[in-house]
Structure 1
Amino acid sequence: MGRGRAKAKQTKVARDLKYRTHETDFGALARELHGERDDNDQVDDYDDWSDYSPRSSND
């Protein structure tokens, strides 16, 4: 018991996903899936960690 609300929510979400109109850029999706990146999408993954220095083994 107690599944009524959860099931109703899942049904609502599923219906919304089924009937919503999407503006999908299939070219961008294909590039992402094949590992190709645009120049605008390139992000330096280490930039967030550049302020940190490695700790010495004595710490």
Structure 2
Amino acid sequence: MGRGRAKAKQTKVARDLKYRTHETDFGALARELHGESDAVEETDDDAEDEWSEYADPPRG
């Protein structure tokens, strides 16, 4: 019970995606799929520093 409204919303979204025409940037899609980026990427040191406060302290 109660699934009717959710199913109707999913059906609406699915129809919208199927029938609406979108302008697709295939170049950007190809860059994203191949792992290329226009933005400057962080170094590994920056990523470790960002999450280091959540890591368990070393045992020993």
State the TM bucket, normalised to the shorter chain.
Answer: 0.5 to 0.7
Q: Which runs of 5+ in 1 are unaligned?
A: 50-59
Structure-2 separation of matches of 1:2 and 1:13: 18
Measure how far apart 1:21 and its partner are: 0.9
Counterpart of 1:13 in structure 2 is 13
Counterpart of 1:30 in structure 2 is 30
Measure how far apart 1:43 and its partner are: 5.3
Q: Which runs of 5+ in 2 are unaligned?
A: 51-60
- Normalised by the length of structure 2, the TM-score is 0.61
After superposing on structure 2, the runs of 4+ consecutive aligned residues of structure 1 that deviate more than 4 Å are 43-46
Structure-2 separation of matches of 1:13 and 1:37: 30
Measure how far apart 1:42 and its partner are: 2.3
Percent sequence identity over aligned pairs: 84
Superposed CA RMSD: 3.0
- Would you say how many aligned residue pairs link Structure 1 and Structure 2? 55
